[in-house]
Amino acid sequence: MNTTIRKIGNSEGVILPREILDRMNLKAGDSIVIIQESDELRLRRTEDTAEEFERKMKIARERMKKYEVAYRALAK
């Protein structure tokens, strides 16, 4: 399926056809990630839910607390 890069405001973008959005169960506001592999671009849905984000933040806070002294020394 071919599509064209189009001017959208001050940016440029690709408009995904409705049939692909329906097939992939995507809608406006959903997050996707763009992956470059040699000369190809791939779009992948991101699965970060609020619960997943909180889980990752909990891990980050634990690590920051554990290595606080090292982080402070590196920040100088």
Say how far apart CA 3 and CA 33 lie, in whole Å: 18
Question: Would you state the pLDDT for residue 50?
Answer: 77
Average pLDDT per run of 10 along the chain, which is 76 residues long? 91 93 89 92 82 88 94 91
What span, in angstroms and rounded, lies between the C-alpha atoms of 16 and 11? 16
List the one residue out of 30, 26, 8 whose CA is nearest residue 18: 26
